[in-house]
């Protein structure tokens, strides 16, 4: 009964580390193909970006979003400015979920959890918080 209805255990905070790393891994995985096309000299623009912003804006916005996703992933891996990276995740995953990318519903929920709870373990944010107290 305590397992089902008791308070969370101290080690439960490590689930946020797993969530951070999972979202970061998915972000990096989705950005790799775009980075390859950017390195080859042709910006592979996303069809969703073209639909939302038009064909003329697609290459530059694809580059911008790829940079944001990569920086967000690195931030999540380090646990640095986790809530800021999660804010971008909430925005991006909300848009892509509405556009029909079903896996992004789960990513939206995960980013929302990170936005509310931040990084409490194994993170730069935690080290900074400990230094201030």
65 domain residue, yes or no: yes
pLDDT tens sequence across 77-94: 999 999 999 999 999 889
48 domain residue, yes or no: yes
Instruction: With CA atoms as reference, report the closest residue to 34 among 1, 59, 8.
Output: 59
More confident residue, 96 or 133: 96
Q: Which helix (H) or strand (E) holds 51?
A: helix 47-53
16 domain residue, yes or no: no
pLDDT tens sequence across 46-64: 677 777 778 778 788 888 8
- How far, in Å, CA of 55 to CA of 80, rounded? 34
11 domain residue, yes or no: no
Distant-in-sequence, close-in-space partners of 68: CB < 8 Å, separation ≥ 6 = 88, 92
Lookup: tokens for 32: 């790799």
Instruction: With CA atoms as reference, report the closest residue to 24 among 75, 66, 97.
Output: 75
Burial class of residue 38 (count of CB atoms within 10 Å of its CB; 0-12, 13-18, 19+): middle
Distance between alpha carbon 33 and the CA centroid of its chain, in Å? 17
More confident residue, 45 or 115: 115
Lookup: tokens for 126: 């935690």
Q: Domain containing 56: what range? A: 23-132
18 domain residue, yes or no: no
81 domain residue, yes or no: yes
- How far, in Å, CA of 112 to CA of 83, rounded? 9
How many distinct structural domains can be found in the chain? 1
14 domain residue, yes or no: no
101 domain residue, yes or no: yes
- Whether the model clears a pTM of 0.85, i.e. scores above it, the answer is no
């Amino acid at each position: 009964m305590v397992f089902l209805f008791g308070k969370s255990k101290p080690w439960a905070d490590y689930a946020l580390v797993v969530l951070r790393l999972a979202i970061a891994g998915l972000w990096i995985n989705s950005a790799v193909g775009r980075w390859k096309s950017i390195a080859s000299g042709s910006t592979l623009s996303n069809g969703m970006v073209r639909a939302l912003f038009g064909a003329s804006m697609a290459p530059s916005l694809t580059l911008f979003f790829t940079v944001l996703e990569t920086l967000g992933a690195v931030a999540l891996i380090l646990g640095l400015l986790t809530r800021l990276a999660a804010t971008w995740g909430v925005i991006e995953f909300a848009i892509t979920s509405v556009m029909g990318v079903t896996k992004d519903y789960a990513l939206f929920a995960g980013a929302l959890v990170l936005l509310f709870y931040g990084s409490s373990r194994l993170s730069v944010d935690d080290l900074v918080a400990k230094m201030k107290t």
